[in-house]
Homo-oligomer: A and B are copies of this chain.
């Protein structure tokens, strides 16, 4: 899972107690606060989403991303999927093995590249993705929509993209 991280600057042992951001906060303290909350918020949100899926007896979160990516992009090669969903190569490899065993995807040899595979969504895979959506959407809704106004969402997305740019589809 993911973990929550708290940094303290040796020079500023109580940096994090700055709950309200008044203008005397030093830049370093604010950086740490932002870092801390970035990881903290992400971890929390993830935890909730995972719990939601699990309670509904659905597959893990990562499967959704892969299924969704396949639905959007059509059959793809693992190395492309990897970039899109941001999963490590060895990890994606095993994930796909499991998903194939579960009948959600179909793997065939790539005709143009003897090393490659081609991953295709099966009907069961598409159905599974659809089945996962309500639970997943619930978690997303709870994390974002009930807490941020429309403008804030745009700002948040914009700033996060600067922090770690989304790779091209």
Copies of the chain in the assembly = 2
- Interface pick from A99-107, A109-117, A156-164: A156-164
Q: A144 touches which one: B35, B69, B153 (CB < 8 A)?
A: B35
Chain B residues with CB under 8 Å of A33's CB are: 153, 157
Chain B residues with CB under 8 Å of A158's CB are: 21
- Does A58 reach chain B (CB closer than 8 Å)? no
Q: A163 touches which one: B61, B148, B163 (CB < 8 A)?
A: B148
Chain B residues with CB under 8 Å of A75's CB are: none
- If A30-B153, A42-B42 touch, whether A71 touches B8 (CB-CB below 8 Å) is yes
- Does A7 reach chain B (CB closer than 8 Å)? yes
User: Chain A: interface residue count, which band?
Assistant: 35 or more
Interface residues of A (CB under 8 A from B): 1-10, 13-14, 16-17, 19, 21, 27, 30-46, 49, 61-62, 64-65, 68-69, 71-72, 84-88, 130, 133, 136-137, 140-141, 143-145, 147-148, 150, 152-164, 166, 169
- If A38-B41, A169-B17 touch, whether A31 touches B86 (CB-CB below 8 Å) is no
Nearest Cβ in chain B — how far from A138, in angstroms? Answer: 11
Interface contact B10-A157, CB-CB below 8 Å: no
How far does the alpha carbon of A138 sit from the alpha carbon of B28 in the complex, in Å?
12
Can you show 8 pairs from A to B with CB atoms below 8 A apart?
A3-B85, A16-B169, A17-B169, A31-B145, A35-B144, A38-B42, A39-B45, A41-B161
Interface contact A64-B5, CB-CB below 8 Å: yes
Interface contact A4-B147, CB-CB below 8 Å: no
Chain B residues with CB under 8 Å of A5's CB are: 46, 49, 61-62, 64-65, 85
